Structure 1
């Protein structure tokens, strides 16, 4: 009896040790350093705003590219957005509750029709949704998208009125961006030099293609502004880091060289 009990206890111990060894082997096979790295990365602080980029689009090119626009199509540069950028010229990511970019709670996009009412008429003129610029619903969808993507992690996450007014003030303060006429061809460098000659700062040039994909067009001129002091809107124009569109060190978009010829429709 006693001998049988000893054998049973010994067998149970062997089974337990075997299970523990298998568990240890499984844990050892996991890449613990990778798990820790991902956990640390998820908790890393968000990038800091270095400057702002005011993106001005040329409606005839935008509407002759990927957009399907209802007339009237504006014949002046309109605002696409004002985007906070980090020191690597990358957009600051949108607000994320799990890794917030600000201690403030951003204003939800759904209340923009109330917050932006005092400047709505100016936004419809200078910052329209080109697909249907006279449609209030379409315009607010555009503004809500820009607010959610760029405004909630700007310096004004709880003040959309100041955020949108900052872009309006910059746009309305520029009388001339380029002096050449429409239906003409220029190189990317020539367009950049023209903007520098007028505004005394180098822009970023964005191109698109016409519907047949046979012609590069001047789609957007983007101007860069130094990050302002607290409670001040962007106002100091600076040279953009890259004349061509660059993301993560690679040129993006149809224009790959400063010598590329682009059409101004």
Structure 2
């Protein structure tokens, strides 16, 4: 029945077409061609259309965040460390951040953040041998800081997560040296003594007094989960011009750790009391 109905409709349209004047026939044909052309362009490449809908642009680097961890808190909270445990702030990493203070995602072949080919993790030993001693001193794997295999495992992990989408994806030596240079340029971070307690806001004010820029404060919990500890102080640096490394200290966007607009970690307020072990 449907076949007969379709045939009848085609016959009717044909009759109407032949009854038209020559001018109206030309207009009718032109309109039909335009419609068919649009239909063909839309449906002839469906995979391309879907692909463009799914791909997300990689966010641009806005600034860098140097994360300095306090080993007594790290080793008395989240990690089991072999002695000796350092008693000064050590580098955790330097992270490229976007304008919303979110970390730039790591490199992926399906949606690369750079046209350059990032250095592979397995090649870091060759690239970093000239600064290996400095990294061991200032950027150790606190679980076993004298174990070079453990150190390279730690550095490799941080490189893959943050270095491959930094401004130096094919130059790990510059990436790691940039953090070392910043750390060596800071003589004092806080002046208060150990075994004391302070509010988050007091710690942030102290860092501002010493370095003239507001940091981000990260807390963790002691093993019994009864006390909040000063775990990390993170410093923010403006994105440098091409050919340079981060060097201009700026205020961090958030004093407390924030992810997608929500405060994360044990410290939820600037008035929270934290212990400096």
1:264 aligned partner: 276
Find the counterpart in structure 2 of residue 98 from structure 1: 110
Structure 1 partner of 2:198: 186
| Whole-angstrom distance in 2 between the partners of 1:151 and 1:209 | 28
How has the CA–CA distance of structure 1 residues 36 and 217 changed in structure 2, closer, same or farther, with 3 Å as cutoff? farther
CA 1:57–1:256: 2 relative to 1, 3 Å: same
For 1:52-201, list aligned pairs within 5 A.
52-201=64-213
CA contact (8 A) 1:52 1:84 kept: yes
TM-score norm. by structure 1 comes to 0.86
1:51/1:86 contact within 8 Å kept: yes
Cα distance in 1 for residues equivalent to 2:216 and 2:54: 31
Q: Name the larger-Rg structure.
A: 2
Q: Quick one: which of 29, 47, 55 aligns to 1:43? A: 55
- Structure 1 contact 102–153 (Cα < 8 Å) conserved: yes
Aligned-pair CA distance for 1:36: 9.5
Helix, strand or coil: the match of 1:116?
helix
RMSD (Å) for aligned C-alpha atoms = 1.7
Q: Which runs of 5+ in 1 are unaligned?
A: 1-9, 15-34
Find the aligned partners of 2:262 and 2:205 in 1 and give their Cα distance: 22
Report the Cα distance in structure 1 between the residues aligned to 2:207 and 2:91, rounded to whole angstroms.
16
CA contact (8 A) 1:53 1:85 kept: yes
CA drift at 1:37: 9.5
Alpha-carbon distance, 1:230 to partner: 0.3
* Matched residue count: 235
**1:42–1:99 contact (8 Å) kept in structure 2:** no
Give the TM-score normalised by structure 2.
Answer: 0.82
> Which of the numbers 243, 246, 251 marks the counterpart of 1:231?
243
Q: What is the rounded CA distance, in whole Å, between the counterparts of 2:50 and 2:275 in structure 1?
A: 46
1:38 Cα deviation after fit: 7.3
| Alpha-carbon offset, residue 213 of structure 1 | 0.3
Deviations 1:30-87 (A, max 9, x none): xxxxx99974453222000000000000000000001000000000000000000000
Contact 1:207 1:254 in 2 (8 A): yes
CA deviations on 1:75-105 (whole Å, 9 max, x unpaired) are: 0000000000000000000001011000000
